[in-house]
Chains A and B, each alone.
Chain A
């Protein structure tokens, strides 16, 4: 079966619902105020998105408490979250933790709780971990977990942790502490997690656990590409809008060829990024054996396109782009953090070298 790289009508309807919800909650001034408050995550928005709209359960089968849609729809939500740099734990809970549970094949009740939005979880690995770099820093003895994991995405608001420890994968709900870090990305936090004698429930061990973790990180990389795409799309659109209205030397700045050509090149990068992100999401949804290649291509392209778009957004907004009050910096911070998340572009290219037989 060949990949479908378009958006279905159902997906477009979902986009409209998510976008309208986010428009009400992610006004730039509100985002900035929240980022510096004691509640950096918008949990009211999270409940509306996860529970009322059902976005947290899209990838989970109906008989396990989800919506029975697929990774394609998750990717669409990610695009919209990227467009609004929304402060919700979707990546940590719905993408990483949920995919780890799905890949482990467990029927633990946590899956249903995550799918319904009743609970939130995080996958206890450093956010920079790529699919080919899995290494646990947590020890396990008689089901008791001890260790420390740095820079875990969305751990700050997680009710549960999914923890790779020893040679297994465990669910933990108590016995861990989360210490908040000052994160580069103001709208997606990373935190250090310390487990000291936490009792875990094993959901996979041995090779199965390693495979589940790799699958979760591959799914994460495949889906994060859509967030990067959405983020880049916002940056381009907003920059075009600004350059049409900003006058210098008696002309709209957007009429100068030097700037038009930069934006045309950026648009061209987005055309490839969109195709690559859609392909990765579609491969994930269809369990296509090409998924590892698709995810690596999507990350290698989309992470760099998003950073380029955010950097152009700051530069072409010039002075205003450097200010705290303009949201461009939120996008740049998210884009740069995303470039490191789940494997840098260079690591994904190195993985491709093996996958497509172009050895060093």
Chain B
């Protein structure tokens, strides 16, 4: 018998009665120990085996009391990707060791997946893992790693067997970012800041006890991570003009001198499309709540990234002369992306990443056309060839 909403509300009130907020971390640890961190996780691991939908009951109660939260935006990779993967593939010891400090934010995680030669084609990756007794010796280069400079641990996919086809020879690990041989270099990007990193791994020794899943089964483990990455999108309802279009609409209303007929037409077209995508998001959530999730989920990120790019581009043109200026090219190392907080030029440039990060728009179109519309896949020339024999 799973818990009811009333029982969860009762437990949340008890937590609030017994712990004050003066020590943020102590409160978060107590919340985890009470099973109110992620209620659908097992007991003892921050949850109560309750239905996932009931998390909102706990969150609402805590928000009303003004309780500190675990700042999910800052620890998003750990929460959204590492945690579900550790839960599904980790040993009991791994789950006990990693999940609590991950959730409280005491230990930040990053994701060592993409490589210079393996982006959309993740299974082509070449970071080598060679067994040496109870350890593995890992050498290679990873890229586009958000939070690597603040991370304590990473989820890491490697090539452990180059002699079999690419999907079969991969192994997945938890990597200690403080281990000798791990070097993090900022990767300065189009906006001027270094939100991402390159990570060089030079003979890094990883104990076999830090392996997630079986040797050679890394692709399957990585699929769990990637599926959870895409599930994270479209979670909450937004009001009309709640997204990027709201910023452009506000600018339009406040600055009549910037208006031209051509900009007006484009703004209205984008307003209509934004409203359509917003309503589609609402519809998707209604389908989920009714227990019949549609395939629209895979489309929302594609729709948002296109809109964000067009709207931020329009905003810059609306500004005209002011659009020729930029706020600040100083290299910064943000721990979280502040998408709307900076100026139009930053938004325009940062939005270019929306159609690349977390699956490029081209890959998402492949997913829609093959999995939703049922169109045949392109011929695959790499399926039965050993990884070492693939052209690169």
With a cutoff of 8 Å between Cβ atoms, the chain A residues found around residue B272 in the complex are 297, 300-301, 349, 352
Q: Are A275 and B268 in contact (CB under 8 A)?
A: no
With a cutoff of 8 Å between Cβ atoms, the chain A residues found around residue B283 in the complex are 5-6, 274-275, 278
Q: A6-B283, A272-B279, A352-B268 are in contact. Are A358 and B369 (CB under 8 A)?
A: no
B341 lies within 8 A of chain A by Cβ:
no
Interface mask (B259-275 → A, CB under 8 Å = 1, otherwise 0): 10100110111011101
Interface mask (A242-260 → B, CB under 8 Å = 1, otherwise 0): 0110000001101111001
A353 lies within 8 A of chain B by Cβ:
yes
Stretch at the interface among B90-98, B374-382, B384-392: B374-382
How far, in whole Å, are A240 and B283 apart by their CA atoms in the complex?
24
How far, in whole Å, are A54 and B125 apart by their CA atoms in the complex?
62
Q: Are A255 and B376 in contact (CB under 8 A)?
A: yes
Q: Are A240 and B279 in contact (CB under 8 A)?
A: no
A265 lies within 8 A of chain B by Cβ:
yes
Main DSSP-derived SS at the B contact region: helix
Nearest CB on B from A127, distance (A)? 22
With a cutoff of 8 Å between Cβ atoms, the chain A residues found around residue B376 in the complex are 244, 251-252, 254-255
Nearest CB on A from B155, distance (A)? 29
B214 lies within 8 A of chain A by Cβ:
no
With a cutoff of 8 Å between Cβ atoms, the chain B residues found around residue A236 in the complex are 373
How far, in whole Å, are A353 and B261 apart by their CA atoms in the complex?
12
Q: Are B369 and A264 in contact (CB under 8 A)?
A: yes
21 contacts between A and B (CB under 8 A): A5-B282, A254-B376, A255-B376, A257-B366, A260-B369, A261-B366, A263-B373, A264-B365, A264-B373, A267-B372, A271-B303, A272-B273, A272-B276, A274-B280, A274-B283, A276-B279, A300-B268, A356-B271, A358-B264, A359-B256, A360-B261
B340 lies within 8 A of chain A by Cβ:
no
A4 lies within 8 A of chain B by Cβ:
yes
With a cutoff of 8 Å between Cβ atoms, the chain A residues found around residue B277 in the complex are 272
With a cutoff of 8 Å between Cβ atoms, the chain A residues found around residue B276 in the complex are 272-273, 275-276, 297, 301
For chain B, the count of residues having a C-beta within 8 Å of the partner chain is 43
Closest residue of chain A to B237 (Cβ to Cβ) is: A2
Say which residue of A6, A243, A272, A279 sits within 8 Å of B287 (CB atoms): A6
Nearest CB on A from B111, distance (A)? 26
How far, in whole Å, are A260 and B303 apart by their CA atoms in the complex?
16
A63 lies within 8 A of chain B by Cβ:
no
A16 lies within 8 A of chain B by Cβ:
no
Say which residue of B253, B275, B280, B374 sits within 8 Å of A240 (CB atoms): B374
Chain A residues proximal to chain B, CB less than 8 Å:
3-6, 236, 240, 243-244, 251-252, 254-257, 260-261, 263-265, 267-268, 271-276, 278-279, 297, 300-301, 346, 349-350, 352-353, 356-360
Q: Are A240 and B373 in contact (CB under 8 A)?
A: yes
With a cutoff of 8 Å between Cβ atoms, the chain A residues found around residue B377 in the complex are 255
Say which residue of B280, B290, B375, B378 sits within 8 Å of A275 (CB atoms): B280
With a cutoff of 8 Å between Cβ atoms, the chain B residues found around residue A3 in the complex are 282
Given contacts A261-B365, A271-B280, A358-B253, 5 further A-B contacts (CB under 8 A): A240-B373, A257-B378, A260-B366, A300-B269, A358-B268
With a cutoff of 8 Å between Cβ atoms, the chain A residues found around residue B279 in the complex are 5, 272, 275-276, 278-279
Say which residue of A268, A352, A356 sits within 8 Å of B368 (CB atoms): A268
How far, in whole Å, are A253 and B282 apart by their CA atoms in the complex?
35
How far, in whole Å, are A183 and B267 apart by their CA atoms in the complex?
34
Q: Are A358 and B275 in contact (CB under 8 A)?
A: no
Interface mask (B344-383 → A, CB under 8 Å = 1, otherwise 0): 0000000000000000001011101110111111110000
